[in-house]
């Protein structure tokens, strides 16, 4: 089996699929890892895929020149967003200035990438989707927009930002925002979780992964657990048990960043709790283009304690560690067992605790 990058280290960025003129590459998702497999009968050995793959080269990363925390001044934007709404506010200013934003939205069961040129269109991007998104098709779109003189803002995971830069090269009109990224599971994991409730991704609507500092999955305003218990999907996500192999060796998990701006949650914030509950983003800026984006957007920004920010966000100094339960959890998933059963056998103590918490909540002993 010939693969574009090292076995099991593919990030699923899909840049190789977009560049291959012979349609010879298929990215195979085994849930444990992604692999971009080359069909040697179709391949003409042009080398374009290996050259473009972000996994095969060292990314250009820069130390932040600005460290801030803050939020969108527009309270509607801040409320709707996952954190402080800084991404949405920057995207809004960008389209209002005539640019095109490319980012991730949930459409027809897929976490795909598309473009937006109006205030109404960018709303589809709002909110963190805690799953591996699929940028297939967006690279050519960005390339064409830039070639036609358009300004483009790409917002995505660091590996995706690196992939965009490899695909289109160093362009004056390309602006990028990378998100601090803990790691991502295959969307098949989410599908399997939904299957326990007789749901699937195609029929899911308004899927939401968190409400500010509270993490819970919600589909069409319906939660899957009582409020005192984290659902099994987000429990395995937050415990780093469900990510694909490559994420545990992520080369973007460092202070030096790949985007013009980096956004995350300001977990180390020293602001009052009632302010933090409304959403506070961590905002790092690496370049002059990043400064330009921040100046254009309607944001409230203030200084932060740099050491605390790094300390409270481990992805700024190391990748997530594989918990001991991961192998068992994914082995059970691959056997096709019910999601809840896979979690029970991998995390028995936690499941018993959650079971008791649920009973206490339902009998109104704990609220």
Binding site for ligand SF4 (CB under 6 A): 4-5, 10-16, 19-20, 22, 24-25, 27, 36, 38, 43-49, 53-55, 157-159, 163, 181, 183-184, 246-247, 250, 252
Q: Tell me the per-residue interface mask from 81 to 110 with ligand FAD, x by CB under 6 A, - otherwise.
A: xxxxxxxx--------------xx------
The residue among 24 and 229 lying less far from ligand SF4, judged by its C-beta, is 24
Measure the CA–CA gap between 321 and 307, rounded to whole angstroms.
21
242 interacts with, out of ligand FAD, ligand SF4, none, CB within 5 to 8 A per kind: none
Per DSSP (E only), the strands in the chain are: 25-29, 34-38, 66-72, 100-107, 110-116, 152-156, 174-179, 208-211, 214-219, 222-223, 261-265, 281-285, 299-303
342 interacts with, out of ligand SF4, ligand FAD, none, CB within 5 to 8 A per kind: none
The residue among 258 and 297 lying less far from ligand SF4, judged by its C-beta, is 258
| Shortest reach from residue 85's CB to ligand FAD, in Å | 5
Taking CB under 6 A as the binding criterion, the range among 17-25, 49-57, 227-235, 259-267 that sits at the site for ligand FAD is 259-267
| Shortest reach from residue 27's CB to ligand SF4, in Å | 5
| Shortest reach from residue 155's CB to ligand FAD, in Å | 4
Instruction: Please identify which residue in the block is written with the tokens 């009632």.
Output: 274
Structure tokens at 119: 């205030």
| Shortest reach from residue 36's CB to ligand FAD, in Å | 18
Instruction: Please identify which residue in the block is written with the tokens 């080269």.
Output: 57
229 interacts with, out of ligand SF4, ligand FAD, none, CB within 5 to 8 A per kind: none
Measure the CA–CA gap between 84 and 322, rounded to whole angstroms.
29
The residue among 53 and 234 lying less far from ligand FAD, judged by its C-beta, is 234
Nearest CA-CA partner of 259 in 305, 294, 210, 209 = 294
The residue among 38 and 217 lying less far from ligand FAD, judged by its C-beta, is 217
259 interacts with, out of ligand FAD, ligand SF4, none, CB within 5 to 8 A per kind: none
Measure the CA–CA gap between 164 and 149, rounded to whole angstroms.
17
SS3 label, residue 307: helix
180 interacts with, out of ligand SF4, ligand FAD, none, CB within 5 to 8 A per kind: ligand FAD
* Residue 263 interacts with ligand FAD (CB under 6 A): yes or no: yes
Nearest CA-CA partner of 163 in 32, 287, 5 = 5
Nearest CA-CA partner of 98 in 246, 233, 296 = 296
The kind and range of the H/E element at 294 are helix 288-296
| Beta-carbon contacts of residue 152 (< 8 Å; ≥ 6 apart) | 99, 100, 101, 102, 142, 145, 146, 173, 174, 175
* Residue 128 interacts with ligand FAD (CB under 6 A): yes or no: yes
- Can you give the binding site for ligand FAD, defined by CB under 6 A? 81-88, 103-104, 111, 125-131, 133, 155-157, 179-182, 184, 263-265, 281-282, 313, 315
């Amino acid at each position: 089996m010939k693969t574009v990058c090292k076995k099991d280290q593919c990030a699923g960025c899909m840049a190789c699929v977009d560049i291959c003129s012979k349609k010879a590459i298929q990215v195979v998702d085994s849930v444990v890892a992604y692999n971009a497999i080359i069909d040697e009968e179709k391949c003409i050995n042009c080398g374009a895929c290996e050259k473009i793959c972000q996994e095969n080269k060292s990314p250009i990363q820069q130390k932040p020149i600005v460290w801030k925390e803050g939020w969108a001044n527009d309270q509607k934007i801040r409320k709707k967003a996952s954190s402080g709404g800084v991404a949405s506010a920057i995207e809004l200013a960008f389209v209002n200035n005539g640019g095109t934003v490319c980012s991730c939205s949930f459409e027809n069961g897929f976490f795909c990438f598309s473009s937006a040129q109006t205030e109404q269109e960018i709303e589809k991007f709002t909110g963190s989707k805690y799953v591996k998104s699929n940028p297939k098709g967006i690279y050519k779109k960005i390339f064409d927009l830039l070639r036609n003189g358009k300004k483009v803002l790409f917002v995505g995971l660091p590996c995706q930002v690196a992939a965009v830069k490899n695909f289109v090269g160093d362009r004056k009109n390309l602006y990028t925002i990378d998100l601090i990224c803990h790691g991502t599971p295959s969307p098949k994991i989410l599908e399997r979780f939904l299957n326990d409730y007789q749901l699937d991704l195609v029929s899911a609507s308004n899927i939401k992964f968190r409400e500010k500092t509270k993490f819970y999955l919600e589909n069409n305003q319906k939660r899957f657990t009582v409020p005192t218990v984290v659902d099994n999907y987000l429990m395995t996500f937050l415990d780093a048990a469900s990510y694909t192999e490559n994420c545990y060796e992520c080369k973007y998990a460092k202070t030096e960043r790949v985007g013009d701006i980096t956004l995350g949650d300001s977990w180390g914030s020293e602001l009052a709790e009632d302010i933090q509950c409304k959403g506070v983003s961590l905002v790092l800026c690496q370049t002059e283009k990043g400064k330009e984006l921040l100046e254009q957007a309607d944001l409230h920004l203030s200084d932060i304690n740099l050491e605390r920010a790094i300390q409270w966000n481990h992805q700024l100094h190391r990748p997530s560690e594989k918990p001991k339960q991961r192998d068992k959890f994914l082995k059970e998933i691959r056997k096709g067992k019910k999601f809840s059963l896979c979690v029970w056998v991998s995390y028995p103590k936690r499941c018993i605790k959650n079971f008791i918490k649920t009973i206490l909540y339902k009998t109104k002993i704990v609220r």
